[in-house]
Structure formats: structure tokens, C-alpha cells
Structure 1
Amino acid sequence: MKPELKPELKPDMKIFLTGYRCTGKTTIGKLLADQLEFDFMDTDRVIEQQTGSSILKIVQTHGWEKFRQIEKKTLLKTKNIKNTVVATGGGIIMDTENREFIKANGVCIWLDADIKTILLRLNRDDKTRDSRPALTTDDLLKETDELIRQRKPFYENTAHLRIDTSVHSPDEIVNIIDRRLKNVRQ
């Protein structure tokens, strides 16, 4: 893993949370936003609200490519928002323009977890079916393992900070992030 980059923090900043499914982007994002007194935005929820459809239905009706186009437009609309924690979809970093936008427009925190933790969370979450449709025709273990391996270099390259969410509680993770951000500011 490359050394963590020192993000350039500005008074009116955005924090982008990236990571694979069920690594805690929404949970941590809401808590972090509260602690920092920031707004919170989840790109997947914005897409569902704007389209009036679940991610599953968008993918079933229009395919993953159309979903990724909508996702990119949603991300690019964050350009002028400030003091916001943005939880992104797990695959958003697969697009070069998205990665460049995230790095140029805020602090990127990669929330990572081991595969066992991810699978446990996926199976426990009632929203998984509608919010996290299958990405391949493989079984869940094979799909998760393969996609994490494919995406890892992109998460690493985009992130200013990496946090392992499989070993800490959400509150502990928020405190770790807050401390790291404060250290960078000083």
C-alpha cells in the first residue's frame, strides 16, 4: 500500500467516502457529518430519489452502463457544494474522470474491510437486494473477491486516507478520521 497522501484541507471542504459495498460509507458518513457539523449526501440515495426507482430497477431496466452515467452526473453535481460528506457508490472509482474529480474536489477517504466482514454485512442488510444488485453472474463470494481485487488499485490511487472498518466500531472510525483530519490541518 502506498503511503497516505496529505490532503489539502480548505475551510469549505468536501469529504468523499469511497470503498466497496458494505464497508460503512453511509453509516460512517452520517456520523462523520454530524461530528463535523457538515451536510451528508449519499450518491446512491440521490439517484434513487431523482429517478424514483431503486438501483436494482434502474439496472434491470437500463443496465449498469446507464446507472454509471447517472452516477457520474450525480457526482459532478457536487462540484460547488461545501462542508459535506459524500458517500459514493462502490464502483464510482472505476471511471477515470470520477477519480480525478474526487481527488481534485475534496478529501477522499477509502473505507476498507476484509472480505469476511463485507459478506457478513451484505447478508445481514435487508436493503442489499434493491440497493446492491449483482454485478456479475458469479456467486457472491467470487464476485466480491474478484471485484475487490480489480478495484483496490483505484481505491488506493484515489484515497488520501485509508481506514479499515472491519476492526473498529463506527464511532471509533469517526474519531480516527476526525483526528487524522485535524492532524493534517495543523
Structure 2
Amino acid sequence: MLVALALVALLVGCTSGTDTNADTDVAGQGYESGDGSTKSWPALDRDDPVEMAGSDFTGAPVDVADWRGDVVVLNTWYAACPPCREEAPDLAALATDYADRGVHLLGINSTDDAGAAQAFERTFAVPYPSIADPDGQAIAALQAKVPVQAVPTTVVLDRQGRVAARILGRADPSILRGLVDDVLAEPAPTP
């Protein structure tokens, strides 16, 4: 009898441990997970500039048009999103490392109230603003130029404000830096 119970316990332990997705399953967590896929557009194939303006979570105005001539990285996020939390330190480091090279980061948050968003920004020492987008206007402006099919989604805009690259899901820091470096290496637009 003791041997039979031990065998049942062993079998139950093996079957419950065979679901390798149990800890990583995102079903029911409230976000559409991206696969980290990347798409880039050659300069000649890029559409018109992204027009996006709003207010950050302190009420200060933000307009990507103010950064024309520089490279801009846009990132959709919200505080309870696990991949957003994972990539936040990498994005903060990118913002700091590239600030003097003419690169600006801007978050877009359609979900959180100011308290949750500002707590996230403090926790991860986020040095760049995020547009508070409860009505979805900033996402709609971006969606008009490039599909935003997951949160997080990261979009790199060239110096003219046009979509140069997109990452669906958590941005791998080395891939994102490579995309930014590629856009920085492009010739500056002629006035």
C-alpha cells in the first residue's frame, strides 16, 4: 500500500510538472503579448511623420514634432504589464546612454491613472516622459502609421518623424540599440 501511494505521488508530481508554460502563460493577464518580432522600413519606403501630442502624467505638454531632427523611440506600456516591467530598466538605460546623441524616448500609457504611472516611473527610474492617453488618441496616431498589436510595442522614428522600425512585445536591448544606431547612422535630412 505504501509503495502504491508513493507511485501515485510520483506520477502526479511528474504530470503537474510537464506543463512548461504554466509559469509563463499570459492568458487572462490583461495584455496582448508580442513575440519580440522586429520590422524595419528602408528610408525610401517610410510614410509621413507621426503626429502625436498630449500631456505627460504631471500635466506637462509633449509633442513629438518638437523633436524633429532627432531620433525618437516610442514605447507603449502600463504598470501591471509584466514584459513592460522587464524592459523598463533597459529603456531607462537607453534614454540615459543616448541622450547626448539626439535620441528621445517617449512612453505612451492608455491604461494607468497618474498615481500608478508615476509609481512605475519612480520604481524604474524612468528619465523620460510618458503621454497619458486615456482616450487612445496617441495610440490612434501611431496606429495610423504602423500596427500596434501588442503591449509593449516599441517604435523607432527617424529624424523626420517617420516610422523606421517596430518591435512587438518586449524589446531586446541589443536589438533596440542596433535599430537606434542604424537610424542614427542615416544621413541627416536636407532642409
Q: Do the structures match in fold with TM over 0.5? A: no
Higher Rg: 2
- How high is the TM-score relative to the length of structure 2? 0.31
Normalising to structure 1: TM-score of the pair? 0.32
Structure with the bigger RCO (C-alpha within 8 Å, sep 6+) is 1
Per residue, is there more strand in 1 or in 2?
Answer: 2
More helix by share: 1
